[in-house]
Amino acid sequence: MLDLHDLARDVNGRCRLRGQFTLRSGLTSTEYFDKYLFESDPVLLRNVVEVMAAFVPDDVDLLGGLELGGVPLATLLGQVTGLPLLFVRKQAKAYGTQRLAEGGDCDGRRVLLVEDVITTGGAVLDAARALRSMNATVDTVLCAIDRRGPDAGPLGPERVEVRSVLTRAMLDAADAGRGGG
């Protein structure tokens, strides 16, 4: 298993881009962090997931991969841990099964949400509320990268615990170490 500093260096080196970028907010930036670059790299994705596996609580019944970035992480994490999966949509599809969560029944089961990056936690809280309304127990999210500040605690009034492999500070330190900061 990779050391966290090495993992932060590898993820940062692959995903931190420099140039001219328009952000979701409409603002422009000379730096952009493209999380899909680590998720589409099979070796780097595997390295992240192998570290994530150590953060999985013992009492979890299902891994809930959040659309879109949490799905590849949860899929590989299921392979590593042997835990079954749910694929959690942002909203229920309007056709076919019309389900919000695909892959299994979460009624009465403990679901660990899996996300690639958490910045505000809004998507995680929406998923937690939705799954709880289906009688699932959801109290923890496992993310590859936590971009919140150093004093960030549980998410929202729902108090969803965040377990993160890498933080913004770790990635910034890795970037400074390669002369980018």
Comparison of pLDDT for 48 and 91, the residue scoring more: 48
- The stretch 127-143 carries a mean pLDDT of 96
Number of C-beta neighbours around residue 94 at 10 A = 6
Q: Is the pTM of this model over 0.75?
A: yes
Confidence of residue 1 (pLDDT cuts 50, 70, 90): low
Is 90 exceeded by the pLDDT of residue 171?
Answer: yes
pLDDT band (50, 70, 90) for residue 15? very high
**pLDDT value for 91:** 87
> Which of the four pLDDT bands, split at 50, 70 and 90, describes residue 136?
very high
Confidence at residue 181, expressed as pLDDT on a 0 to 100 scale? 54
- pLDDT for the residue numbered 180: 60
DSSP H/E element including 169:
helix 168-177
- Nearest one of 98, 111, 181 to 140, comparing CA atoms: 111
Strands 16-22 and 28-33 come out as: antiparallel
pLDDT for the residue 150: 79
Q: What is the pLDDT of residues 79-115, one digit of tens each?
A: 999 999 999 998 887 887 788 899 989 999 999 999 9
Q: What are phi and psi of 106, to 5 degrees?
A: -100, 0
Secondary structure (3-state) at 106: coil
